[in-house]
Amino acid sequence: MAPATTIVFGPTGDVASAVAREVHQRGAKVVLAMRNTSKPIPGLSPQAEAAGNFERVQADLTDPQSITAAVSQTGATRAFLYVLFGNPGATVEAARALRSAGVGFVVLLSSFDVRGEARAVPTSNFLGHMHAVVEVALEELFGAGGFVALRPAFFASNSLRWKSMVREGHVKMPFAEAEFDWISNRDVAQAAAAVLIRGSQEGGQAAIELCGPKLFSQEEAVNTVARVLGREIKVTRLEEEDAVQLAVSKGTPERMARLINGLLKARVEGEDDIYAGRIDEAQANGRKYTGGKPVQYEEWVRENKDEFEAET
């Protein structure tokens, strides 16, 4: 029996585009749900898309009627969903539309900031609570076996926020010693695809935590980028307020800049070791879903070398 038709939301993004490709490689028909159906899909050429089992459909997570129409048109019964930043309520309504239209199983791109039982995440944990709200709604809508929340930790792609400074040969950052796991979008996509193909968990895990293969500092990450690009890159440590203002000047919303800096500070000062008691299992999950070959950060940088060097 062929795998169920899967609708993937946000396929122009790094993670969802990789999910779409992985699900397709495992034999499923993939529906690319897009607000703008003319946009290119990263890693998927027009030729490969035309030759493959892909279908584009217009759908917007803020427009439940478009979601209902997309599912009805394509016959999708499984879905990959993400949380609209700052608007979990809209994502909940999107999930409700998916359920009403006939989707029976959802994989949610959640967050490592959701720790343990989703209902217990406090509102003070902004990122965690935002994703937990959607996790709770999915359980209520789809039942314990009808969804899985993937909770990746710190994406390797977060280092692309340095790319303009990398080109200048001088990266300025706060808390350069803060250590993270640098998981690749491809590793997350492999986990998502495996779960989407399998479908109902039948009493299995409702949440799967994922971490990259090694913890190391932001400064070490910059040094890795420098090594791969074959250039010297200086690292300057900024005070918190200077870091916020630099991020804002480069287009980051101030609320997000302050949130990121707060997380970095808590990580360095030991106020909140998000990896404590969790990283071994999360790294084991990373190995499990990648066949024992999770992407190392240096490999990820090589794969994305053009991104660091692009004049954008």
Per-residue confidence (pLDDT) for residue 205, from 0 to 100: 67
When pLDDT is cut at 50, 70 and 90, the band that residue 1 belongs to is: low
pLDDT digits 0-9 by tens, 78-135: 999 999 998 999 999 999 999 999 999 999 999 999 998 999 999 988 899 999 999 9
3-state class (DSSP) for residue 181: coil
Could you give the dihedral angle defined by the CA atoms of residues 141, 144, 145 and 150, in that order, rounded to the nearest 10 degrees? 90
Per-residue confidence (pLDDT) for residue 204, from 0 to 100: 61
pLDDT digits 0-9 by tens, 146-193: 999 999 999 999 999 899 999 999 999 999 999 999 999 999 999 999
pLDDT digits 0-9 by tens, 222-269: 999 999 999 999 999 998 898 888 888 878 888 888 888 887 888 888
CA 8 and chain centroid, separation: 13
What is the residue-averaged pLDDT of the chain? 93
- Ramachandran quadrant class, 310 (left: phi over 0; alpha: psi -120 to 50; beta: rest): beta
> How far apart are alpha carbons 159 and 136 in whole angstroms?
31
When pLDDT is cut at 50, 70 and 90, the band that residue 142 belongs to is: very high
| Identity of the residue numbered 173 | M
Per-residue confidence (pLDDT) for residue 64, from 0 to 100: 97
- Ramachandran quadrant class, 203 (left: phi over 0; alpha: psi -120 to 50; beta: rest): left
pLDDT digits 0-9 by tens, 182-200: 999 999 999 999 999 998 6
> How far apart are alpha carbons 100 and 97 in whole angstroms?
5
- CATH homologous superfamily of domain 6-154+183-212+278-290? NAD(P)-binding Rossmann-like Domain (3.40.50.720)
Domains in the chain: boundaries: 6-154+183-212+278-290
Per-residue confidence (pLDDT) for residue 267, from 0 to 100: 80
Per-residue confidence (pLDDT) for residue 55, from 0 to 100: 96
- Run of H or E including 189: helix 185-198
> How far apart are alpha carbons 167 and 231 in whole angstroms?
9
pLDDT digits 0-9 by tens, 4-58: 999 999 999 999 999 999 999 999 999 999 999 999 999 999 999 999 989 999 9
3-state class (DSSP) for residue 246: helix
Q: Does pLDDT of 201 surpass 70?
A: no
Looking at per-residue pLDDT, the higher value among 280 and 256 belongs to 280
pTM: 0.93
Per-residue confidence (pLDDT) for residue 111, from 0 to 100: 97
Q: Is 159 exposed, middle or buried (0-12, 13-18, 19+ CB in 10 A)?
A: buried
